[in-house]
Structures are given as structure tokens and as C-alpha cells.
Amino acid sequence: MKAQYKTAISDARWIAYDIPGNIGWIVYLVCVYRGLCEKKDVYRIASALPGVLMLIGVGELISERIAGLDRVLSGKRLIRGFGALTAGGLLGIPMAIPGFKKNKKRAAAMLAGSTLCAVFAGLLLAGYKKQ
């Protein structure tokens, strides 16, 4: 039998983590998209890589929700969902820093978005314990 991970986080805490986490990955992706629309250079393309991880995580979490697996997940699903979101957020933090030379507002939004994503997806990830 495969290991299962379960969380006992309350609905209120889940929502309190979910909303800023969602705001974070959305802000990051919008900033990356707007940067790529302006110019496609190495920095802007590289800054999309954390966004890809974020999208993988979101896609996995949506498929988990559709399958009714909200609070009990396999290890693979946990890593593909909250693990990918957390990793994408963490990788987005250093990716935002060089952007301050090009567009301070966008870089600040990317930094804030990736930080929100990393922190709140990480808190949800940490709430899962092996059964």
C-alpha cells in the first residue's frame, strides 16, 4: 500500500493560506507574461521557469479537487501539487531580484507574488503528515 498523507488543517486556516497563496502565483505569472510580451530575453524566459512549476502545482491541485482528494493525498500527488507550488515560489524569489534593474514595480510584484506562493503553499504542504 502506498503511503498516504493527511492534513487536519481547519477550513478557516485552509482558506487563510489558500487566498494569499493563489494571489501570489497569479501575480507572479501575470508579471512574467507582461515581461515576455515586452521583450523575450534570457532573463524573462528564465523567470518563466518558476511559473511553470507553479502551473504544474495548480494543475495537480485542481485534479485532486476534481477527484475529491482534498485532505488525503499520495506522496506523489502531494509533491506534484503543494511541493511544486512551494518550489516554484522559492525559485521565483531569486528570479525577481535581477528584474529590479529593468522594471522596479514589476520586480517588486514578482518578488511579493513568489514569496506569498512559497510561504502559503509551504504552510499547506507542512500540514500534511504521513498516515
Q: Determine how many CB atoms are found less than 10 A away from the CB of residue 87.
A: 21
In this structure, which long-range contacts are made by residues 34-42, counting pairs with CB atoms below 8 Å and at least 24 apart in sequence? Answer: 34/106, 35/99, 35/102, 35/103, 35/106
Of 103, 102, 8, 93, residue with least CA distance to 50 = 93
pLDDT digits (tens, 9 = 90+) for 32-68: 999 999 999 999 999 999 999 999 999 999 999 899 8
C-alpha cell at 82: 503543494
131 residues of the chain, pLDDT tens digit each: 678 999 999 999 999 999 999 999 999 999 999 999 999 999 999 999 999 999 999 999 999 989 988 789 999 999 999 999 999 999 999 999 999 998 999 999 999 999 999 999 999 999 999 98
pTM of this prediction?
0.93
The pLDDT of residue 69 is 83
Domain ranges in the chain are 22-125
